[in-house]
């Protein structure tokens, strides 16, 4: 099992370690292979910022410290997927309740309820909602998105005690899975930070658990 996966199932949180991600694309491949998704459907995607630019401490050096110091952290890669937010904005904006925050912490999509309005796309700060059918004939004509699809957190795998495919496959253990406490401890142990701003952290972890991550970045 990947060292990034600390516990699975009930109460699971998923979060990236930007210091570890090397933009290899392993998670993207693992996700597509496991769930056989369409080529344009990116349930997980790696976003690279400031590509080709070295940070003040050199390439591949710490990203979070310079960011906190208000400097350009240099090229930074970040696996983006659904973080199954505690205060999920997508759930709030969905007019048909197709999106639900389940009791075990997973944010799920009910295909039968989704009307393809794409409000969730506007609501999600992390670009997680995907609309693989939005280029199909009628959907394109009327601009509906078709049925929304996003990272499921590999719920069935987690229920069977396995980690999400992306996290298990990650060569550098850059995708952390576990409780909020486990993730913040692991980041601290690695000397990594959260990279996201306070607002995003409160969306993902909720106000209370977001505090866990502030120990490392007291002035962030």
User: Do 207 and 198 contact (CB within 8 A), yes or no?
Assistant: no
Which of 3-11, 27-35, 111-119, 210-218 is the region at the interface with other proteins (rule: CB under 8 A)? 111-119
DSSP letters along 117-178, please? --HHHHH-TT---B-TTTTSHHHHHHT---S-B---TTHHHHHTTPPPHHHHH-TT--EEEE
Crossing angle of the two packed helices 180-190 and 198-210, in degrees rounded to 10: 120
Residue 71: name the closest of 86, 60, 55, 87 by CA: 55
**Interaction partner, residue 109 (ligand SF4, other proteins, none; CB < 5-8 Å by kind):** ligand SF4
Least distance (Å) from other proteins to the CB of residue 97? 6
Report CA 109 to chain centroid distance, whole Å.
Answer: 16
40 makes contact with other proteins (CB under 8 A)? no
Contacting residue, 34, 115, 188, 206, with other proteins by CB under 8 A: 115
Alpha helices in 69-107 (DSSP H): 89-93
- The smaller minimum CB distance to other proteins, of residues 102 and 159, is found at 102
# binding residues, other proteins (CB under 8 A): 29
Which residues contact ligand SF4 (rule: CB under 6 A)? 82-85, 88-90, 93-94, 96, 98-99, 107, 109, 114-120, 124, 126, 128-129, 145, 148, 150
Which residues contact other proteins (rule: CB under 8 A)? 88, 91-93, 95-98, 100-101, 112-119, 121-123, 125, 138, 141-144, 146-147
């Amino acid at each position: 099992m990947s060292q990034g996966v600390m516990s699975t199932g009930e109460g699971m949180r998923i979060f990236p370690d930007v210091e570890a991600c090397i933009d290899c694309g392993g998670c993207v491949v693992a996700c597509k292979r496991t769930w056989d998704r369409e080529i344009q459907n990116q349930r997980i995607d790696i976003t690279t910022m400031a590509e080709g630019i070295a940070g003040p401490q050199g390439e591949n050096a710490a990203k979070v410290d310079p960011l906190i110091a208000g400097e350009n952290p240099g090229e930074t890669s970040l696996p983006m997927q659904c973080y199954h937010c505690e205060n999920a904005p997508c759930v709030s904006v969905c007019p048909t309740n197709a999106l639900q925050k389940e009791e075990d912490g997973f944010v799920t999509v009910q295909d039968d309820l989704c009307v393809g309005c794409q409000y969730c796309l506007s609501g999600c700060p992390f670009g997680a909602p995907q609309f693989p059918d939005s280029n199909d004939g009628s959907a394109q004509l009327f601009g509906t998105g078709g049925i929304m699809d996003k990272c499921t957190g590999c719920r069935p795998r987690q229920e069977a005690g396995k980690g999400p495919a992306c996290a298990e496959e990650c060569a550098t253990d850059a995708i952390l899975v576990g409780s909020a406490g486990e993730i913040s401890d692991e980041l601290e142990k690695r000397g990594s930070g959260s990279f996201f701003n306070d607002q995003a952290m409160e969306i993902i972890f909720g106000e209370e658990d977001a505090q866990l991550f502030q120990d490392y970045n007291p002035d962030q």
